């Protein structure tokens, strides 16, 4: 389709003395500029978004703080946008994970890549809103110069880390980036060498110590946690400049074994503790560590809320016994909430974070649950690398091995990172 061209205005011809006309023109231009600036600031204030200016040291200075009660990034709708999305191509991301590369493993309906999250009551003019909130890889790398951004948690947080790496990847020459793995595979480090910046992921699915801490061999018949033990993990994320935590799905069982003592101690005491209670116990240990070890003047801390699963199709009105397999459209019902997401667990997180605020440390909640609930078509389903050979029963019934927990990339986690980006820059 040919692009539409704007009509060209006829030239203005001035006859005779021009000083007065130029003076009038400059006055009108000054007035127009003032009106535009005031209008932009007014629109920005009404939407609750912060404008940003730069000083000579290239440090951002917030003109007005983002008002979360007037512009809630997490309340909104998905808008189809195949011009701006995806933000990168799956095959062009050097470090894409086979667990999340749905197109590579046979998925042909790719519209799951073309959705933009539009928050309610944040309708700035597109040119202004994009300049403030659109993901800018170079700007983020500059912000991360000589710094560490560390994601800590389970495989869903690892997916968000892969998303972040892919968002940055194309802006870095091949010879100036690398990935290394240390700590027995628990810590993966993406390095942008020109910026001396690292974007890291640390495997700690329960944040505290557990018998599921091995990044590969973590499937155990009976999960056990040491709810008071976190230093084994925390030493790897100490001194990070931005920390992004998550933990939820690994706690989803009625009773969890809690160990007082070490795994090597035959005298250790084991006790079964109810799900919500043991979750809070662990988060209290985590929050106590943060209070002691994190400098709020240096480090930004985020907690990502629970990522929804779509394993029961009857919850969105489809056939009972089915799941996300074969789904190509999102859930349109506003406010849809699946049974896999436990509000009582989220309330525990909110209570712990509120207590931390009273102690002087602000941890921002990235509340991605509701916006992700709609995206039943965004999971890998059967389109991912299968680590174990499929049985004949599975081959005959693909929904039995469909992954309805993780997310295809490009996809939903890219939006999580756009929201993280907005918080990093505008709070």
Residue 287 annotated to the active site: no
pLDDT tens-digit readout, 116-156: 999 887 654 444 444 455 899 999 999 999 999 999 999 99
Q: For CA atoms 71, 72, 77, 79, give the dihedral sign.
A: positive
| DSSP letter (8 states) at residue 207 | S
Of 154, 213, 403, 414, which is the active-site residue? 403
Predicted local distance difference test score (pLDDT) of residue 35: 40
At 412 the three-state DSSP class reads helix
Which is it for strands 242-245 and 269-274: parallel, antiparallel or unpaired?
Answer: unpaired
Return the pLDDT at 125: 41
Q: Is residue 403 annotated as part of the catalytic site, yes or no?
A: yes
**Which one from 233, 310, 406, 426 is the annotated catalytic residue?**
406
Residue 391 burial (CB count, 10 A): 11
Count Cβ atoms below 10 Å from residue 418 Cβ, excluding itself: 18
Secondary structure, 3-state, 168-179: HHCCCCHHHEEE
DSSP assignment of 103-136, as one string?
A: TTTT----GGGSEEEEETT----HHHHHHHHS--
Lowest mean pLDDT among 32-46, 206-220, 243-257, 316-330: 32-46
Which range is least confidently modeled, 70-84, 228-242, 275-289?
Answer: 70-84
CA–CA separation, 181 and 243 (whole Å): 18
Residue 47's nearest CA partner among 112, 123, 103, 108 is: 123
| Percentage with pLDDT > 90 across the chain | 74
- Is the pLDDT score of 426 beyond 90? no
What pLDDT shows up at residue 51? Answer: 30
pLDDT digits (tens, 9 = 90+) for 176-228: 999 999 999 999 999 999 999 999 999 999 999 999 999 998 888 889 999 99
Whether the CB-CB separation of 71 and 122 falls below 8 Å is answered with: yes
Question: How far is 280 from 306, CA to CA, in rounded Å?
Answer: 15
Q: Is 212 a catalytic residue?
A: no
- C-alpha 122/C-alpha 44 separation (Å) is 9
CB of 256 closer than 8 Å to CB of 225: yes
| Continuous segment of H or E residues that includes residue 342 | none
CA atoms within 13 A on the CB side of 336: 21
SS3 344: helix
Euclidean distance between the first and final Cα of the chain, in Å?
41
Catalytic residue, from 155, 163, 287, 341: name it.
Answer: 155
Average pLDDT over the chain reads: 85
Q: Is the dihedral of CA 152, 158, 159, 164 positive or negative?
A: positive
pLDDT, average across residues 244-263: 95
- Averaged pLDDT for residues 265-289: 95
């Amino acid at each position: 389709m040919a692009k539409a061209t704007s009509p060209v205005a006829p030239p203005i011809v001035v006859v005779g003395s021009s000083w007065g006309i130029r003076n009038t023109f400059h006055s009108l231009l000054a007035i127009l500029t003032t009106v535009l600036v005031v209008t932009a600031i007014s629109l920005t204030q009404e939407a609750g978004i912060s404008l940003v200016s730069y000083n000579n040291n290239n440090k951002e200075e917030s003109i007005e703080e983002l008002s979360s009660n007037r512009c809630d990034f997490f309340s909104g709708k998905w808008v189809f946008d195949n011009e701006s999305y995806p933000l990168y191509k799956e095959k062009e991301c050097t470090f894409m994970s086979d667990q999340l590369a749905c197109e590579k493993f046979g998925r042909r309906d790719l519209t799951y890549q073309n959705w933009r999250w539009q928050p309610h009551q944040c309708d700035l003019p597109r040119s202004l809103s994009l300049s403030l909130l659109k993901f800018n890889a170079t700007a983020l790398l500059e912000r991360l110069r000589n710094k560490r951004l560390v994601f800590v948690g389970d495989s869903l947080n690892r997916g968000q880390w892969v998303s972040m790496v892919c968002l940055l990847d194309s802006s870095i020459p091949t010879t100036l980036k690398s990935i290394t793995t240390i700590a027995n595979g628990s810590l993966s480090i993406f390095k942008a060498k020109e910026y001396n910046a690292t974007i890291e992921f640390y495997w700690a699915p329960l944040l505290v110590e557990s018998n599921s801490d091995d990044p590969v061999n973590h499937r155990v018949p009976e999960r056990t946690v040491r709810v008071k033990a976190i230093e084994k993990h925390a030493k790897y994320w100490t001194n990070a400049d931005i920390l992004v935590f998550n933990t939820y799905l690994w706690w989803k069982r009625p009773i969890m074994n809690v160990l007082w003592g070490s795994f090597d101690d035959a005298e250790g005491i084991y006790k079964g503790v109810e799900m919500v209670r043991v979750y809070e116990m662990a988060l209290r240990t985590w929050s106590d560590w943060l209070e002691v070890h994190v400098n709020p003047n240096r480090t930004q801390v985020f907690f990502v809320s629970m990522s929804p699963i779509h394993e029961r199709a009857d919850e969105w009105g489809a056939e009972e016994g089915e799941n996300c397999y074969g789904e190509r459209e999102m859930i349109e019902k506003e406010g849809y909430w699946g049974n896999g997401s436990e509000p009582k667990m989220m309330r525990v997180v909110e209570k712990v974070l509120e207590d931390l605020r009273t102690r002087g440390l602000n941890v921002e909640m990235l509340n991605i649950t509701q916006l992700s609930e709609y995206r039943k078509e965004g999971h890998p389903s059967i389109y991912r690398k299968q680590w174990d050979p499929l049985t004949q029963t599975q081959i005959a019934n693909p929904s039995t091995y469909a992954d309805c927990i993780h997310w295809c990339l490009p996809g939903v986690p890219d939006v999580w990172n756009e929201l993280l980006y907005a918080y990093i820059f505008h709070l």
